[in-house]
Amino acid sequence: MTDLVTFGETMLRLSPPQGTRLETTEEFDVRVGGAESNVAVAGASLGLDSVWLSKLPRSPLGRRVVSELRAHGVRTGVAWDDDARLGTYYLEHGGEPRGTNVIYDRADSAVTTVAPEEIPLGVLDDATAFHTTGITPALSDAAAETTRAVLERASEAGATTSFDLNYRSKLWSHAEARETLTDLLEHVDALFVAKRDAEAVLDRDGEAVEVAHGLATDFGFETVVITRGDRGALALHDGEVFEQPVYEADTLDAIGTGDAFVGGFLSKRALGGDIDAALEWGAATASLKRTIAGDLAVVTPEEVERVVAEGDGGISR
């Protein structure tokens, strides 16, 4: 029995030291990141048997991705490509008012040619949950087709399917996203969506609770989770509404916060928690992530529980 299967692209993440610019840096911190593997790592860290499916170049760089995910306990089901390149992203952290800048160098990466038959979908047959995001179908037509195929297969196999809309303006336009995603969402049980993406991509207006009801009605979602940045998350599940504030955090690296939220939420659900508890785990995992360098939420269930219970850290000695 596998608790959680995810599918998507994972890239090499290259970032200069704090305060140093891409123009002048002589050093990159090297990590891997991708929304779906970030969720799988959060899941594995929190106790799930997690599997990540994708396509990678057969090279030391492709192995670099698998190696880091395995280190965090994620099993990997990878189609290896002899020629293609590894997607890369450059991340420059800047405090205000400079902000954080991401430069994608992910065109023609291995996953853009992925086909359903290349990847070991058999793992879906006894999977409890499947998760992917709106980034994957934005990568290429093949990736969009495969996303649909994998979602269908997961759904048929009885897994709960979840989807984080995760609109990326550097990959496609609102209109392109709307067209592709609307189609995919029919195979989804639980939607995670930022309020601003619901507005811009899914054409929704009004308060979060209205948006959630509208989406649930239109697409038949069992669960809709709307995230609103500092104002916390709202969930609609089987008609019932739940609210969750954020836990405050000293933010060292904000990248991956949303994925940590999803990973925490799905983990608590997979472990039998109700929506309330899942929202708490999501928010706590997200706040812990903010204190950790890299995309990945390297946290324990005990730490998540402590944040839920107390909200803060202090010195333990």
Query: What positions carry a catalytic annotation?
Result: 259
Q: Cα separation of 95 and 91, whole Å? A: 13
Residues 41-60 that bind a second copy (CB under 8 A): 59-60
Determine, following the binding rule CB under 8 A, whether residue 274 of this chain makes contact with a second copy. Answer: no
Q: Cα separation of 246 and 79, whole Å? A: 38
First CA to last CA distance, the chain: 38
Range in contact with a second copy (rule: CB under 8 A) among 149-157, 181-189, 201-209, 241-249: 241-249
Tokens at 118, concatenated: 């290349």
Query: Cβ 96 to a second copy, closest distance in Å?
Result: 5
Q: Cα separation of 283 and 133, whole Å? A: 19
Q: Cα separation of 290 and 315, whole Å? A: 18
Determine, following the binding rule CB under 8 A, whether residue 64 of this chain makes contact with a second copy. Answer: yes
Candidates 81, 189, 253, 259; binder of a second copy (CB under 8 A) is 253
Determine, following the binding rule CB under 8 A, whether residue 291 of this chain makes contact with a second copy. Answer: yes
Range in contact with a second copy (rule: CB under 8 A) among 84-92, 114-122, 143-151, 188-196: 84-92
Which residues partner with 55 through β-bridges?
Answer: 79
What residue type is assigned to position 90 of the chain? Y
| Half-sphere exposure (Cβ direction) of 167: Cα atoms closer than 13 Å | 23
Determine, following the binding rule CB under 8 A, whether residue 108 of this chain makes contact with a second copy. Answer: yes
Candidates 170, 196, 228, 231; binder of a second copy (CB under 8 A) is 170
Query: Cβ 24 to a second copy, closest distance in Å?
Result: 6
Q: Cα separation of 73 and 48, whole Å? A: 9
Residues 9-38 that bind a second copy (CB under 8 A): 14, 16-31
Q: Cα separation of 23 and 8, whole Å? A: 30
Range in contact with a second copy (rule: CB under 8 A) among 140-148, 164-172, 176-184, 193-201: 164-172
Query: Cβ 163 to a second copy, closest distance in Å?
Result: 19
Determine, following the binding rule CB under 8 A, whether residue 81 of this chain makes contact with a second copy. Answer: no
- Do the Cβ atoms of 3 and 129 come closer than 8 Å? yes
Determine, following the binding rule CB under 8 A, whether residue 115 of this chain makes contact with a second copy. Answer: no
* Residues listed for the chain: 317
Determine, following the binding rule CB under 8 A, whether residue 107 of this chain makes contact with a second copy. Answer: yes
